[in-house]
Structure 1
């Protein structure tokens, strides 16, 4: 039975023309006519068509706007609103259409806030137009309240469902993009690859990364970047650090993240400093940086440098923001700690023990070399008399069984390993527990 509430509604055009241009299915159209009347349905469909024109103007920059699907959604929504005022239990057909529309909007990267705003605007326009068309009628306050609140309820439910579906699809798309990025960078850093102009263009189109630029590889450890939102935030922060350029972030494991900052021109000292300041704000994280390098080969090289710094830092005392240039000696000498311990033992001999006495000898030797082999300055560093330093150095040479000057470079390298890896490259004296490497 048709409700009397909407008998006064009629379209500006002919009912036949409105019905013939509608996207809604014939069975749904018949059901709506039985519920609210032919004139009211035609009025609603005409309102939907007008809303579509407004929407097309607002979203004209969106590529391949799915106009038929949008019109079907608008038609179904306004009919759901009309029928909701007649029955609380009426089924909202729009909810069946929302998942598809939400997925399309997410794939086109249309901000859902714009879509929600448009839905609310249509709701207000339809309500205003309805009451304008109903000006000659006398409605009780309860009827007016029912019309407004139930109609708003339909739109609220629709928006909630749309946002959930939209965000779910964005999450799927983000995770897919992360997987593609991971596959790309693993290919680029795994082995040197030859890339033609078309390959470079495709990578730039898909990931926004121009491999011909200058790159700084970054390895971030002890950061929980499990979720795409964490990666997105890190990427935005890196991009803000060097304004106008691009950043690429890929999660390697739950606690290790690979990143690159790419610039058209070689990054300046000031830009690198800003980048380091940005990374320093990552609470609890350890960040390793490769040196700036250009092109696809540079993309790989700077990453491998950052990786080597990170690997060397794990068993050592290195902390904070670490650049490859500052730690390259540690990286080269400490790649194999077992062999590094052999080297320390070979060069320092009795000075390679973990004991306090051996530590004192190493401290004396280090101060002397740090002073540029100056007895006076070396003694000042240690806070002892010059003659005391001479005596200690004589004792050290007896223990080493060779003159310090004869193997100065080897001694410096051995002391460097001890400074960074400590007991991992030292040996225990008889009776002391051995330290595992």
Structure 2
């Protein structure tokens, strides 16, 4: 069957072979290509500001990889022929989210930036495939047309989906809980009592805002909601305000009836893999409702940028880490000078000592918080102190700060794997 429309001239056999070879390379998702595609998501300051949202950023990255693979596979099968649109669930969800935020044009900006990045990688590869100027010229023309029309067709399909949804649900936003909360967050004058009744949540109390999200595709919303309710229960809140804010993201507010127990919160969060929580500080009334949410957003943004950020973090932790990482080189030197050989050991030793210091140097309390036997914890602490270049008793504050920096900036990896890797080295 001929898939080529009449306006699309079939490339020469030599160019078709080059397209096939290039597609084989693209199929492997070269690291340099992926880095270029990821960097394209920050092509303008407006894009970068929005993509501070880790959920949207992760979805955009998945979309880029999926589209590249689809285009490459199509050219492997039918080199140089038109590529059918590929609109994934991630792409549609992201488009919906940008539309809800009043930024539908940003999706087109991202698509164009991605197209440019893909073209740069493809063009750079082209010069390694042939040095024949005539063949190269035809190859680049065919490639550019293929990439451009593929991206354009994807955007057309997405636009049609959004227009159809809007026509089917023209008044949905007017009664949506998120729309009500957004009016509060935007600082508009509202009838506080009436809004509270419509939301089923008192705005006159002391609040704490939470963001619960996942950067993993196909995360089910009910699992996010289960985590939100479990965390709220630990704060003494029976009926938290939960707002479905976007793809795999919840906005949550609880009554700030009692102080947070971060280790208990982290223990609950471990039961929900691949989900994360950012927490604002306590605030009263409508202003506290807004301010705590903004702090939770700030916390989420830093958690999205640092590889070792915990599954649950508070604005207080973020403030300290943010200040200490403003000069990355100085921060790294501080960590190395303070922790010495402990920086290169399995993370279990670092995290055990960090938990010990965070729990006021109480062994039993730390063991309970970590879910570790007391004797096991003592052995780990002894080993950690042997690795330190300075005495723990005289430098507790500096060591705690250095450990906080190290843990936030280091991905948590399986210590058994690390041990096996070292044994085989």
Please, what TM-score do these two structures have when normalized by structure 1?
0.36
User: Which entry has the higher C-alpha Rg, 1 or 2?
Assistant: 1
Could you say which structure has the greater relative contact order, defined with CA pairs below 8 angstroms and 6 or more residues apart?
A: 2
Please, what TM-score do these two structures have when normalized by structure 2?
0.37
